[in-house]
Structure 1
Amino acid sequence: MTKYDPSLVDDFLSHHWTWRPVDATFMGDKAHDALLPPVGDDVIDEERRSIAALRERLQDTAIPDDIGNRLDRRMMLAELAVQDMAAAERSRLRNPAWYSGEAAFAVISLLLPQSAPVRHDALIARLGAIPGFLHAAAGGLARRPTPAGWVNRARREAAAMAEFLAGDIKLHEEFADDWASPALAAAAAFTDFATAIAGLPDADPACGEVYLARLFETQHGLSIRPASAVDLAEASFERLGAELEDMAAAVDPNRTWEEIIAGLSAEHPGDAEAVIDSYMHWDVQAVVDGHRLVTPAQEYDLDYRWMAPCFRKVSQSLYFLFYRSPPGLKPGEGSVYWVTPPGENIETFLASNNRATVKTIHSVHHGSVGHHTQNTRARASESRLARIAGTDCALGLAFLGSITLIEGWACYVEDLLMEAPGFYSPAEVLLLKQYERRNAASVLVDVRLHTGEWSMEEAMAFYRDKAGFAPARVEAEVVRNSMMPGSRAMYWLGVEGIRALRRRWKGDTLSFHDTLLSFGHVPLAWIGEEMHRAGLLNPGPSIL
């Protein structure tokens, strides 16, 4: 057994970025900005050889005494194990939406404010590589059975990018004439790709119970089995349904909880400018009201602004987040939070930006004391990888093992602000209860879909008819479930895990939350182990 060498993190990142150069751009590494991911018949075999060599080197090292190196070593081993498992059994090269997403965000990642100024040479290189990348993708997918939801998502993304590259990219403030020709060629390639994958035979997207259980244990550090998670979430789903009815009766005995929540859409600003002002107002109010519960990040700016004109159409069809974690390797001074401007129907725009939605989703979950504070605190983590694991990439988080902490915190902190007297109205508290119930519902879909108990259609029916998801959102939500096994279940498990740790915490509320976030983006279960190791927890049960 050799001594652990911290430079292994550099080797791990070099490995990761070799196969996922778009991730590197989002993380703030510029050396890969001109590249697209390698594709072809030999790629997976080459990647697995690289994984095996790195795992062997890591496994031969002793567990470090200091926490930063210990977490880095553990994360590398977990991520490499999952990468190998996925390469062998659920290769990303068999998912058309992986290709469309990587090609789309290879371009868009270089055009976002966090990448300013635009690296023109890198952008032109990536545009020029897209036709070959998508042609190889179409060839590798030809006649291969593929889940229809994945195909539909890829075709929708490809069509949106074709339109963007042929038109709206010219609205970018740094657009240059030498982008035009490669952009048009890339647009044609997206169109050809969408045509080529149309009609692929359907396939079952389920990963299977064994695969899912390995993800729970290896990637997320969980001791709980998927079936046990379903039992807990199902009981919670039923209990929360009853609580919604009781709470609604206390708020207004003449209306159901569904009617009370629907009524929140009428409580909105009077005009568009007042909408963007409300985002900032409630962000500030959450910081003021929540500062005794968690130390808010105020040293890193969050700039609420209207979405840039060039992105307004394409963002509707892509995994285009209004808030993205800033590049951990080059975080700069702040991050942009896009606010979608009004369309033709101003009343619909105002209703969708009602006070309750702005407060809970935008100003708390993502802004102020939510993801914004969490991401800022992660930059100071003792673990190098924990500073960047939660980077939002083309399809989701860079290292999904961190999702229990990342999404667990953002959902948990919505409820935490209930401990700040007067921040929420009784009807808004009812809305938060519905959010919690939907997260419990997502555990049921995530697990039952991947263990084969439910089909895609049954999962969509449950979300629509039982869980209260908006009908327009249902298909995309289930497709996301199908593409990333276990990830959606981690929202609810993360919240429950944080609550369990808080019950065992020896100190006060503020110190618990600040300590929790100080670990950065690592699996919540590991944070619990480190808290126990440091003597910070009382004995007690943990859902994780």
Structure 2
Amino acid sequence: MTDASSLAEDYLRLHAQLRPVDATFMGLSGHDHQLPPASLDCVDAELDALATLRGRLRHASRPTTAGARLDAGLLGAQLTVTEAELRRAPRQQNPAWATGEAAFSVISLLLPGEHSGAAERADALRVRLEALPGFLGEARAHLQGRGAPGDWTRRACLEAHATANLLERGLPRHPLWQAPMQGPAYRAVRALRAHADELSRLPTTGTVACGEAHLDLLMREGHGLAFGPREALEQATLAFERLSRELEEDAARLTPHHSWQEQVAGLEQVTPAPGRVTDAYRASHEAALDAAAGLVTPERTYDLDFRSVPDWAVGTADLYFLFYRSPAPRRPGTGSVYWVFPPGEDLGAYLRAHNTSVIKLVHAVHHGSIGHHTHNARARNADSVLARVAGTDCASGIAMLSAGTSVEGWACYAEDLLLEAPGFYSPTEALLLKSFERRNAASCIADIKLHLGEWSLDDMRAFYRDQANFAPARIWSETTRNSMFPATRLMYWLGTEAIKDLRAELNLPAQTFHDALLAHGHAPVSWIAEELRQAHTQETA
């Protein structure tokens, strides 16, 4: 019989065929020249391929190691979630699917990393550019006779125009640019703009809710949770109320007569000197690595290079262009890049957005140092085949939903972990941290209420604006993503809480617990918890 880890490798080969842009980001060789299948029969073909693999999984040998157990769980969850989504609402029927894949089919080959040689990448890029007009035409066929939520169509149009601008203005500035790309790029630009015009005429449908049954499946099967949306909503609502009270009480003790919102906003005035923002990122990253001593083993051998966003990528604001993107786990090289965006016309607004505290908490800790940076490095050495790659950042989100509670749960937990490093945060920064926790609880509430159908997108946006303390500029894009990808915003708070609960339960030394947790890679925290409990029981027997 075949074991789960061998089937996991087979699944990755299938995943690369069905989602070749994901494959480029994951470092799965042989697919850099391809675009996703988009013919009208591609949904049925994918369901057939998944059913075949599921049949093989049912007859696989019983897993006897932690890595094989996680592979069996991750593979089963991925098959279940993907099949359910293909039957309920195939991704091909979301107008933003094709535009996201189109954009990142190009960007994935332009980013620095351990790709194939420049000549091979240039050839793959040219082939993808040549294929884009046909791909967009096939993708539109999935939308004929259907409507789409207006915000999804708007996002798709923004992405199409942004990608056209990238090909027209940015690509010729990239070192990979060659004269033979000019014709394919020109035709791709025309196709993208025509595609946006066609999309703008799509009829608008109403609800974006996935419904309670599907949300429950995503939570229990995808995230491996022991409870569904109603219980999670109750937990998050109680936490939001508690954190709201605590913020008011903490603020009153810290600076009477100034609300916590005013005190947190005051942090925007403490900024790096103009021209030294990138230096501030690097210095905060190094300080966080040092502060983590005794709490977790930080990643120091794999480099994180802070660089200004290159000229070719400056016009990517309407795309899912991340300042930190997880390195390709199958081709990580010796380091990765953290992009620092340049100032615009309003230098003051730029510095406020890149204030010293945000650089420290968000960029240095959550994404860099002991956050995603360390977690991704540890995951690449996990025993589970799929837990090494499941958290890879792809065109629209991470490769596998099941990675979410550990990927985002750990990064949010890491922010709070450095409260245990004396002097790393100021008292006002501790207040900011608690406001982040409150915002994550709010996002959990909103994710669930939206997809239960209890809130509209307008309700969700009003909540984010009036109660959750979201930056106004983030609200539309954040909520639109929430609506397209149910159960992806609740994983931040629920993942963090699961790690906190497990640490309290096992009561291990901090560094021992955190290193063991991260060693299992990108899998549901609840499944990792079972492995840690089993190991702890064996050690203490």
Report the TM-score range of the alignment, normalised by the length of the smaller protein: over 0.9
What amino acid does structure 1 have at the position aligned with 2:398? Answer: L
2:142 aligned with 1:140, yes or no?
A: yes
- Give a deviation string over 1:69-117, Cα, whole Å, max 9, x none: 2211221111011111111112001001111000110011000002555
CA contact (8 A) 1:142 1:197 kept: no
> Separation in 1 of the partners of 2:3 and 2:507?
32
2:310 aligned with 1:327, yes or no?
A: no
What amino acid does structure 1 have at the position aligned with 2:269? Answer: A
> Separation in 1 of the partners of 2:73 and 2:474?
36
Give the corresponding residue for 2:479.
Answer: 478
2:41 aligned with 1:42, yes or no?
A: yes
- Give 3-state SS (helix, strand or coil) of 1:242's partner: helix
Give the corresponding residue for 2:130.
Answer: 128
**1:529: how far off?**
1.1
CA contact (8 A) 2:26 2:392 kept: yes
Give the corresponding residue for 1:82.
Answer: 81
CA contact (8 A) 1:505 1:536 kept: no
Residues 137-536 of structure 1 mapped to structure 2, 5 A cutoff: 137-203=139-205, 204-272=207-275, 274-314=276-316, 316-536=317-537
What amino acid does structure 2 have at the position aligned with 1:187? Answer: V
- Give a deviation string over 1:23-71, Cα, whole Å, max 9, x none: 1100112300100000121111111010110000011123211121221
> Separation in 1 of the partners of 2:8 and 2:265?
49
CA contact (8 A) 2:5 2:384 kept: no
**1:4: how far off?**
2.1
> Separation in 2 of the partners of 1:171 and 1:90?
39
> Separation in 2 of the partners of 1:523 and 1:413?
17
CA contact (8 A) 1:35 1:126 kept: yes
**1:536: how far off?**
4.9
Give the corresponding residue for 1:542.
Answer: none
- Give 3-state SS (helix, strand or coil) of 2:258's partner: coil
CA contact (8 A) 2:151 2:480 kept: yes
Change (3 A) 1:279 1:5: closer
CA contact (8 A) 2:40 2:141 kept: no
Give the corresponding residue for 1:9.
Answer: 8
CA contact (8 A) 2:4 2:57 kept: no
- Give a deviation string over 1:220-256, Cα, whole Å, max 9, x none: 1111110110001001101111111111112211311
Change (3 A) 1:537 1:198: farther
- Give a deviation string over 1:392-423, Cα, whole Å, max 9, x none: 00010001101000000000110111110100
- Give 3-state SS (helix, strand or coil) of 1:381's partner: coil
What amino acid does structure 1 have at the position aligned with 2:508? Answer: G
In structure 2, runs of 5+ residues without a counterpart are none
**1:538: how far off?**
12
> Separation in 1 of the partners of 2:425 and 2:257?
21
**1:202: how far off?**
2.1
- Give a deviation string over 1:264-312, Cα, whole Å, max 9, x none: 110001212x211111111111111112111000010000010111001
CA contact (8 A) 2:122 2:176 kept: no
> Separation in 2 of the partners of 1:194 and 1:419?
50
CA contact (8 A) 2:440 2:492 kept: yes
> Separation in 2 of the partners of 1:162 and 1:536?
57
**1:537: how far off?**
10
What amino acid does structure 2 have at the position aligned with 1:57? Answer: R
> Separation in 2 of the partners of 1:164 and 1:124?
15
Task: Tell me whether 225-234 or 338-347 shows the greater mean CA deviation.
Answer: 338-347
What amino acid does structure 2 have at the position aligned with 1:156? Answer: L
Task: Tell me whether 39-48 or 65-74 shows the greater mean CA deviation.
Answer: 65-74
Percentage of identical aligned residues: 47
> Separation in 2 of the partners of 1:426 and 1:6?
47
> Separation in 1 of the partners of 2:453 and 2:537?
41
> Separation in 2 of the partners of 1:50 and 1:201?
32
> Separation in 1 of the partners of 2:141 and 2:59?
40
Give the corresponding residue for 1:109.
Answer: 108
> Separation in 1 of the partners of 2:538 and 2:473?
44
**1:319: how far off?**
0.5
> Separation in 1 of the partners of 2:78 and 2:305?
33
What amino acid does structure 2 have at the position aligned with 1:446? Answer: D
What amino acid does structure 1 have at the position aligned with 2:56? Answer: R
Task: Tell me whether 78-87 or 196-205 shows the greater mean CA deviation.
Answer: 196-205
> Separation in 2 of the partners of 1:3 and 1:199?
50
> Separation in 2 of the partners of 1:536 and 1:292?
24
CA contact (8 A) 2:5 2:385 kept: no
> Separation in 2 of the partners of 1:141 and 1:226?
30
> Separation in 2 of the partners of 1:275 and 1:289?
21
Cα RMSD over matched residues? 1.4
- Give a deviation string over 1:374-409, Cα, whole Å, max 9, x none: 001111101111111111000100011010000000
> Separation in 2 of the partners of 1:224 and 1:5?
26
CA contact (8 A) 1:506 1:538 kept: no
> Separation in 2 of the partners of 1:536 and 1:90?
43
**1:171: how far off?**
1.1
Change (3 A) 1:212 1:5: closer
What amino acid does structure 2 have at the position aligned with 1:15? Answer: L
CA contact (8 A) 1:506 1:536 kept: no
> Separation in 2 of the partners of 1:381 and 1:5?
15
- Give 3-state SS (helix, strand or coil) of 1:110's partner: helix
CA contact (8 A) 1:68 1:383 kept: yes
CA contact (8 A) 2:302 2:335 kept: yes
> Separation in 1 of the partners of 2:160 and 2:32?
21
In structure 1, runs of 5+ residues without a counterpart are 540-544
**1:475: how far off?**
1.2
Change (3 A) 1:537 1:471: farther
CA contact (8 A) 1:109 1:115 kept: no
Change (3 A) 1:536 1:364: farther
Task: Tell me whether 110-119 or 149-158 shows the greater mean CA deviation.
Answer: 110-119
- Give 3-state SS (helix, strand or coil) of 2:527's partner: helix
CA contact (8 A) 1:504 1:537 kept: no
- Give 3-state SS (helix, strand or coil) of 1:393's partner: coil
- Give a deviation string over 1:510-537, Cα, whole Å, max 9, x none: 1000000000011111001111222359
CA contact (8 A) 1:531 1:537 kept: no
> Separation in 2 of the partners of 1:200 and 1:355?
44
- Give 3-state SS (helix, strand or coil) of 1:130's partner: helix
Give me the TM-score of the superposition, normalised by structure 2.
0.97
CA contact (8 A) 1:100 1:154 kept: yes
What amino acid does structure 2 have at the position aligned with 1:342? Answer: P
> Separation in 2 of the partners of 1:200 and 1:228?
37
